[in-house]
Structure 1
Amino acid sequence: MSATNLQPSLGTVLRPRDLALLSPAVLCAEPGSPAARLATRIGRAPWPTVVHEQVTGAVHAASVRDTKLVLVGGNSFAWVRQAVRQLRPVGSFPIALLATEVSADQVLALLDAGANLVIERNATGREVAARLTALCRGSSGDDILRVRWLQAGQLRLDLRARRCLLDQEVIALSHNEFDLLAFLMGRSQQVVPQHEIVQRVWGWRHGDGMNTLRIHVGRLRRKLGDTPAQPRWIGSVRGIGYQFLHPVAELGDDRSDDRMRQAVTVLNAQADALNALVDTLLVARDEASVAETVVQWAITRGFGDAATVFRLDTDAAGRSMSRLVASAGMSARWRQSIATGHPVSADFMGSQVYRSGETVQLHDMSQLARRFPVTARMSSAEDLHACLLFPLHVDGRIWGDLAFVSRTDRAFTPARTAYLRTVAGVVSLAFRAARTSSPTTGPATDA
């Protein structure tokens, strides 16, 4: 089956729920090859997530995202093999070859170069979908195996030894208490719904496990010296779920050459991306230019499927308003719906950022209809789920917010969150410089 025939077939066979397993996906296709025309849609979302005809672009895209799958295809065996060789050191994601005519010996050479799967060119869409999902399911646990410790301040979890230390003292945790703490730390600074915690920690898909969860949270809090009224580690949001309150570092003890090369590649890509942003911001002359620069940078560099900048303002009646300054990756309909701004109220997730001055992270905004009905409705209409929302501080006050949004329902990793927090800091400085050179009339609020 040719790539042109495979495109509509994959769009039919792959389902929206497959996005969680197969995205973000990067397609690296030789210019003019059938693979270059492979891009399709799953539901409302484009798939693969990004497409590059230059290997260097694909290498960058794969390194800056939490990439789950890389697809490579082309007319020339030499081009495809070189692409695989350049992509393999970037990360541990699976690499699949498709829409490429290769011999049996060439298949072996591609596997030796670092490919995980070579799919025959005449494979049906259903077969391609099944083999890709099986490939990604088989690699889905790699991230967990690479991480040895989770650490937040003086709290440290050794995942391999299943040991918890607080202020260098061992805290005796039961099996379920350890799994609960590890899960919450793995989703640090985001509110995780109760039903999801029960399903992931206890494996219960049916029945009411909320009482069991409350009991274990209570025990865990007592052992960590926490209280519900003044939580130090585990916070709760009434009617929704629980939240590990502090940023968490993921630490590993694998110092192999391959791992070191992967880490260096990611760091170099992130440094290059940040330098490019700074260079562009230096010539931004006003706040609108700063906002437009950062949202376009976020999308072109692959740090999200959408990005927005809102400014905190007031209307004629003196009510607090959140007004859109710039967006990328959002539909014209969405931009029109928000054109006049919207009141800062409890229905709006940004209000939490403005009140607290802290970063907010959610793995699926569409599931928060009770708490943030406006945000849930707007995100569902755009098929957007995970969100990382940073307050932008200017002269000690909250100027507005910067959001990175993903179509997958996986939270941004702690490492990615830390990097984007740095980006938000740089953008805040750019807004300060723009305000100094060309002040705006919009008021800020105390952080």
Structure 2
Amino acid sequence: MTSPAYGRPARIMTRREAALLSPTVLCSEPDRPALAPVAALQGQREWAVGAFEDVQRAAHQASVRETRLVLIAGANPGWLLRATKSLRAACASPIAVVAGPLDHDQVLALLGAGANLLIDRHCGPREVLARLTALCRGARRDETLRIRWLQAGELRVDLGARRCVLGEDAVQLSQNEFDLLVYLMRRSQQTVPPHEIVHGVWRWKHGDGLNTLRIHIGRLRRKLGDTPSGSRWIASVRGVGYQFLPPVAEFGDDRSEERLRETVATLNAQNDALYSIVDNLLAMPDVTALADAVVRWAVDRNFCDAATVFRLGRDGRGADISTLVASAGMSSRWTQSLAAGHPVEPGFMGAHAYRSGKVVQLSDVSRLAGRFPVTARMSSAEDLHACVLFPLFVGGRVWGDLAFVSRTVRAFDPARTAFLRAVAGMVSLALAALYGSGGDGGAEDD
């Protein structure tokens, strides 16, 4: 289905539908042509979908990354059953199967293996889309309530009852104050820009809302016992944003065996990935090889859609410049545009990480063109949105940064962010070891 005027796939999916379905893991039967309705939907640019023919790779993707929908497409009933069992064991996301005509026993077997929806392959793409969006709408409430409590020390927030307790005392919060606290706690120890907070809490599309944010931050601090002379819970990072200071633990109210198996599977996958990158980093002879290894590992292991390592240095005039060391998942045109490095200026997101030494996380870089025009332009050209950027340290100074980027417009969830933070810490240690051993790849010292 193409547009005769432009030769591009006709628009089938709205942005709202794409956001509801994204990110999707698509597992297609190997060595078979793509089913027509699935192929038509795959052509929709707004839909963030990772496509795999290898069932184990698809299961790994669903286990280590946030997944809104798992879509299985094929014709062989035996393959469909094996794929459904493997993907159901890997995650609790809704599973839809698009397949040829199935008999009664085959339908029951797939439903028993964990499929939530079966769709006939001869349905048109619009009908398939309608069925998938209906499935994901029904799953949204369960997803949002998967985490029931947030806890940081003696501060405990009940998301289901919308209650906040500090020590043994209830903290009376307005609806906006509660939403603001939850938003910051879910991004604990990350400096979040004011514009991103305003959009995430109030969903404002017009006006900056900064005065409203300052008022609510002040009220929230007073109710939590923070004082102008010392912040225990919420800190201001001058010129950058706000940060919830203590680490936050998340607790779910679903303690079923299925959820336990899912959690164990995720931890095992992350553990295997961690061992793999540690072994690789120890064997790297220089900085370039190390950077290339970590970005390729992140993309190949499906922790992100693209990754980059930049190094902070100085140009011939003594001005700060950020130079691309390695990237994965980016186009050759994008990498060529950075061949000469990039000035460290306010519109460049890495500048804030270099200046503050803090993690920078954004849910959609393209919406912050006013604040980070350079980064927004660079990311939009690659259809990349969510980003988490970690400063890398050598000898107590910021050496550069490691960034992970996703095509979805939702921020990296806290669990994955914490995991990637550990990876960034190991990269910093590996860099320090290389410089200590003289294995700097011939780079000049800062």
> What TM-score results when the alignment is normalised by the length of structure 1?
0.88
Read off the aligned partner of 1:199 and give its amino acid letter. Answer: W
Instruction: Say if 1:104 and 1:335 are closer, same or farther in 2 by CA, change over 3 A.
Output: same
Q: CA deviation at 1:77?
A: 0.7
1:24 and 2:27 correspond: no
Across the aligned residues of Structure 1 and Structure 2, the Cα RMSD in angstroms comes to 2.9
User: Identity rate of aligned residues, in percent?
Assistant: 59
- CA distance in structure 2 between the aligned counterparts of 1:283 and 1:375, rounded to whole angstroms: 32
- CA distance in structure 2 between the aligned counterparts of 1:414 and 1:386, rounded to whole angstroms: 13
- Corresponding residue of 1:96: 96
Read off the aligned partner of 2:315 and give its amino acid letter. Answer: D
- Corresponding residue of 2:286: 286
Q: Deviations over 1:355-413 (max 9, x none)?
A: 11111111111122222221122112222111100111123222210000011110111
Read off the aligned partner of 1:438 and give its amino acid letter. Answer: G
Read off the aligned partner of 1:21 and give its amino acid letter. Answer: L
Read off the aligned partner of 2:199 and give its amino acid letter. Answer: E
- Corresponding residue of 1:60: 60
Q: Which runs of 5+ in 1 are unaligned?
A: 2-7
1:354 and 1:400 in contact (8 A); partners too: yes
1:438 and 2:445 correspond: no
- CA distance in structure 2 between the aligned counterparts of 1:34 and 1:418, rounded to whole angstroms: 39
- Corresponding residue of 1:171: 171
1:190-205 → structure 2 map (5 Å cutoff): 190-191=192-193, 193=195, 195-197=198-200, 199-200=202-203
Q: Deviations over 1:168-207 (max 9, x none)?
A: 543232344223322332344233536524535xxx7889
Read off the aligned partner of 1:174 and give its amino acid letter. Answer: S
- CA distance in structure 2 between the aligned counterparts of 1:341 and 1:207, rounded to whole angstroms: 34
> What TM-score results when the alignment is normalised by the length of structure 2?
0.88
- CA distance in structure 2 between the aligned counterparts of 1:111 and 1:10, rounded to whole angstroms: 32
- CA distance in structure 1 between the aligned counterparts of 2:298 and 2:346, rounded to whole angstroms: 28
2:100 and 2:122 in contact (8 A); partners too: no
> SS in structure 1 opposite 2:120?
coil
- CA distance in structure 2 between the aligned counterparts of 1:346 and 1:340, rounded to whole angstroms: 18
Q: CA deviation at 1:250?
A: 1.7
2:361 and 2:411 in contact (8 A); partners too: yes
Q: Which moved more, 1:307-316 or 1:253-262?
A: 253-262
Q: Which runs of 5+ in 2 are unaligned?
A: 2-6
Q: Deviations over 1:267-325 (max 9, x none)?
A: 00111111121222232211111111111111111111110000111111111111000
- Corresponding residue of 2:264: 264
1:97 and 1:118 in contact (8 A); partners too: yes
1:18-417 → structure 2 map (5 Å cutoff): 18-35=17-34, 38=38, 40-43=42-45, 49-167=49-167, 169-188=169-188, 189=190, 190-191=192-193, 193=195, 195-197=198-200, 199-200=202-203, 214-226=214-226, 231-235=231-235, 244-417=244-417
How many correspondences in the alignment?
433
> SS in structure 2 opposite 1:105?
helix
Q: CA deviation at 1:50?
A: 2.2
Read off the aligned partner of 1:258 and give its amino acid letter. Answer: E
Q: CA deviation at 1:36?
A: 7.7
- CA distance in structure 1 between the aligned counterparts of 2:366 and 2:255, rounded to whole angstroms: 39
2:194 and 2:213 in contact (8 A); partners too: no
Instruction: Say if 1:422 and 1:229 are closer, same or farther in 2 by CA, change over 3 A.
Output: same
- CA distance in structure 1 between the aligned counterparts of 2:288 and 2:402, rounded to whole angstroms: 13
Q: Deviations over 1:101-160 (max 9, x none)?
A: 322432222112110111111100111111112212221232321212112344321223
2:48 and 2:408 in contact (8 A); partners too: no
Read off the aligned partner of 2:202 and give its amino acid letter. Answer: Q
> SS in structure 1 opposite 2:403?
strand
1:71 and 1:95 in contact (8 A); partners too: yes
- CA distance in structure 1 between the aligned counterparts of 2:208 and 2:384, rounded to whole angstroms: 29
> SS in structure 2 opposite 1:416?
helix
